[in-house]
């Protein structure tokens, strides 16, 4: 563990600052959209731009890194992310913000790919699990801390945008000053979607549905909270609890899935998320009743934490379930395919959720989450009835963030690093 920290502290520190800025940015834009009285549909459309950009970036980053190198790509896109957030404060328009969110998504996926391929190059089969664990803790922990920065200044001011830009720029310093040589980029090919679906229909379908869930969850929770008249501190607390409780629950639920039928764990977790989403709706309806009839917001926080505990490990569970049906040498390729499918679903999540909120009201947010988690559970039960569980000794649960790229999936300790094919001299 000490060797991992010694060799990779600059990357972890830089990614920590970046995720702090990203967590702050997501909450800030959601709250500012409510304060500017953007319609729910335009807010959902604007927030979905990030995932459109993320999807575009995944298809182009490999060639760009191969041409100009890791350091130049990281510096260029971190600088772009720092610049883009400042433009948000100048042009207050949901359609311009959509374009800016696309650029942010492209920037972030490029940064993730560079960082994760670099970490993969510095790790070996003995410490790979430790590297991935620290990386996930840094990402979720920093994101949660960043959400508390919402209390720094009124979201209607321009100062918060400047602070995000400063934090993003600070992230460049430790990474660009590292003495280590950048790695040789390993281009990873994904499995064709047809082959991946034939191998694991439940894995592909649940990844798509879960992409819609998590994209809406992280981008519109602050919008929901602001529309429910939460204070700035309460909004930052809600978003912080979401990120941290989901990260903490990864390992306990993951170990259960290694011990019992993984599909049963996924189905129970997703229906658990449905139940706690319903409880959150009921709790939110009780918060503003007159006089003594009103209940404390603490119940809402508790149900949100329980929802996060059930929901956030789902991506890792889906990846592990997919690996149950494929040989070890295809784990990375299958993970890339699952990430692609997740990204396709994520592009429409915020916009679809905003439609639910338009129809039902603010609690349409949780109705949306309940609906899509329910679809995962129903399809899971269907697949369990027509296909038996298989035992794959090479497959095990590995906790990983949903933002992970194929280069990061290689950090999974159950996979082997992909070696470059060397040409004979």
Q: How far apart are CA 178 and CA 393, in angstroms?
A: 39
Residue 415 lies in a domain: no
How much of the chain exceeds pLDDT 90, in percent?
20
Question: What is the pLDDT at residue 319?
Answer: 83
pLDDT of residue 316: 84
Assess if residue 53 is contained within a domain. Answer: yes
pLDDT tens, position by position, 191-216: 677 888 888 888 889 999 999 999 99
3-state secondary structure 324-355: CCCCHHHHHHHHHHHHHHHHHHHHHHHHHHHH
Q: What is the CATH number of the domain that holds 342?
A: 1.20.1250.20
- Res 350: pLDDT: 92
Q: What is the pLDDT of residue 422?
A: 44
pTM: 0.85
pLDDT digits (tens, 9 = 90+) for 241-286: 888 888 888 878 887 877 888 888 889 999 999 999 999 998 887 7
Give the chain's mean pLDDT.
82
**Which among 163, 161, 167, 162 has a CA at the least distance from the CA of 97?**
161
Question: How do residues 137-171 score in pLDDT, each as one tens digit?
Answer: 888 888 888 888 888 888 888 899 999 999 988 88
What b/e sequence results for 44-59 when a residue is b if at least 16 CB atoms lie within 10 Å of its CB, and e otherwise?
A: bbbbbbbbbbbbbbbe
Q: Does residue 27 sit in helix, strand or coil? A: helix
Higher pLDDT, 391 or 345: 345
Distances (CA, A) of 266 to 273, 316, 318, 377, 380: 11, 10, 8, 8, 8
The pLDDT, as a whole number, for residue 415 is 62
- At residue 260, the 3 state secondary structure works out as coil
CB count within 10 Å of CB 380 equals: 23
If pLDDT is split at 50, 70 and 90, which confidence band does 372 have? very high
Complete DSSP assignment for 110-165 = HHHHHHHHHHHHH--TTTHHHHHHHHHHHHHHHHHHHHHGGGSS-TTSSHHHHHHH
pLDDT at 278: 93
CA dihedral 88→89→93→95, nearest 10 degrees, is 0
Whether 420 is covered by a domain: the verdict is no
Residue 389 pLDDT greater than 80, yes or no: no
pLDDT at 418: 47
Residue in 366, 390, 184, 196 with CA at minimum distance from that of residue 281: 366
Q: Max CA-CA distance within the chain?
A: 83
Cβ neighbours of residue 210 under 8 Å, at least 6 residues apart? 314, 315, 318, 342, 345, 372, 376
The pLDDT score that the predictor gives to residue 330 is 74
Residue 5 has pLDDT above 70, yes or no: no
Give the count of alpha carbons within 13 A of 103, CB side only: 19
Of 298, 211, 313, the closest CA to residue 252 belongs to 313
**Residues, the chain, total?**
425
Q: Residue 419: inside a domain, yes or no?
A: no
3-state helix, strand, coil in the chain (%, to 5): 75, 0, 25
For residue 350, CA distances in Å to 30, 134, 239, 343 come to 11, 29, 16, 12
Considering just the CA atoms, what is the radius of gyration of the chain in Å? 21
Going by pLDDT thresholds of 50, 70 and 90, the confidence category of residue 1 is low
Taking the alpha carbons at both ends of the chain, their separation in whole angstroms is 38
The two counts, helices (H) then strands (E), for the chain are 16, 0
How many domains does the chain fold into?
A: 1
In a domain, 250, yes or no: yes
The pLDDT of residue 119: 76
182 or 16, greater pLDDT: 16
The answer to the question of residue 160 being in a domain is: yes
User: Which tokens is 372 given?
Assistant: 């899509």
Q: Is the pLDDT of residue 417 over 60?
A: no
Average pLDDT over residues 103-123: 81
Minimum mean pLDDT among 17-26, 310-319, 321-330: which range?
321-330
Q: Using pLDDT thresholds of 50, 70 and 90, give the confidence band for residue 187.
A: low
For the residues 230-234, what does the mean pLDDT come to?
Answer: 88
In the predicted structure, residue 91 carries a pLDDT above the cut 50? yes
Report d(CA 318, CA 243) in Å as an integer.
19
Regarding predicted confidence, which is higher, 399 or 34?
Answer: 34
For the ranges 139-143, 285-289, 312-316, the lowest mean pLDDT is seen at 285-289
Residue 305, domain extent: 2-178+187-409
How much is the pLDDT for 188?
Answer: 60
Q: How confident is the model at residue 26 (pLDDT cuts 50, 70, 90)?
A: confident
> If we measure between CA atoms, which residue out of 414, 415, 412 comes closest to residue 136?
412
Is a pLDDT exceeding 70 seen at residue 186? no
């Amino acid at each position: 563990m000490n060797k991992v920290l010694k060799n990779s502290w600059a990357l972890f520190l830089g990614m920590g600052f970046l995720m702090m800025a990203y967590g702050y940015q997501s909450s800030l834009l959601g709250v500012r959209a409510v304060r500017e009285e953007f319609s729910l549909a335009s807010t959902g459309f604007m927030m979905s731009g990030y995932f459109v950009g993320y999807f575009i970036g995944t298809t182009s980053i490999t060639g760009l890194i191969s041409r100009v190198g890791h350091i130049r790509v990281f510096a260029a896109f971190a600088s772009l992310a720092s610049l883009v957030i400042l433009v948000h404060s100048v042009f207050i328009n949901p359609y311009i913000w959509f374009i800016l969110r696309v650029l942010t998504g492209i920037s972030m996926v490029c940064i993730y790919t560079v960082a994760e391929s670099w970490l993969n190059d510095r790790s070996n089969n003995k410490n790979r699990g430790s590297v991935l664990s620290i990386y996930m803790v840094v990402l979720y922990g920093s994101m949660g801390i960043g959400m508390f920065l919402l209390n720094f200044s009124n979201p209607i001011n321009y100062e918060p945008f400047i602070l995000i830009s400063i934090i993003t720029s600070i992230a460049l310093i430790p990474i660009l000053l590292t003495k280590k040589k950048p790695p040789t980029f390993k281009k990873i090919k994904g499995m064709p979607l047809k082959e991946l679906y034939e191998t694991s229909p439940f894995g592909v379908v649940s990844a798509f549905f879960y992409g819609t869930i998590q994209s809406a969850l992280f981008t519109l929770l602050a919008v929901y909270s602001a529309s429910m008249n939460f204070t700035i501190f309460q909004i930052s607390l809600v978003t912080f609890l979401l990120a941290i409780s989901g990260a903490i629950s990864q390992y306990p639920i993951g170990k259960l899935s290694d011990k019992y039928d993984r599909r049963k764990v996924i189905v129970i977790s997703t229906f658990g998320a449905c139940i706690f989403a319903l409880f959150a709706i009921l709790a939110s309806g009780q918060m503003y009743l007159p006089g003594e009839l009103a209940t404390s917001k603490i119940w809402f926080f508790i149900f949100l934490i329980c929802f996060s505990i059930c929901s956030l490990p789902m991506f890792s569970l889906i990846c592990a379930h997919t690996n149950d049906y494929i040989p070890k040498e295809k784990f990375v390729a299958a993970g890339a395919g699952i990430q692609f499918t997740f990204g396709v679903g994520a592009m429409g999540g915020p916009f679809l959720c905003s439609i639910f909120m338009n129809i039902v009201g603010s609690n349409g947010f949780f109705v949306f989450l309940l609906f899509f988690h329910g679809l995962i559970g129903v399809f899971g039960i269907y697949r369990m009835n027509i296909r038996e569980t298989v035992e794959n000794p090479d497959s095990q649960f590995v906790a990983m963030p949903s933002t992970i790229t194929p280069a990061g999936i290689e950090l999974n300790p159950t996979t082997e690093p992909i070696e470059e094919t060397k040409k004979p001299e």
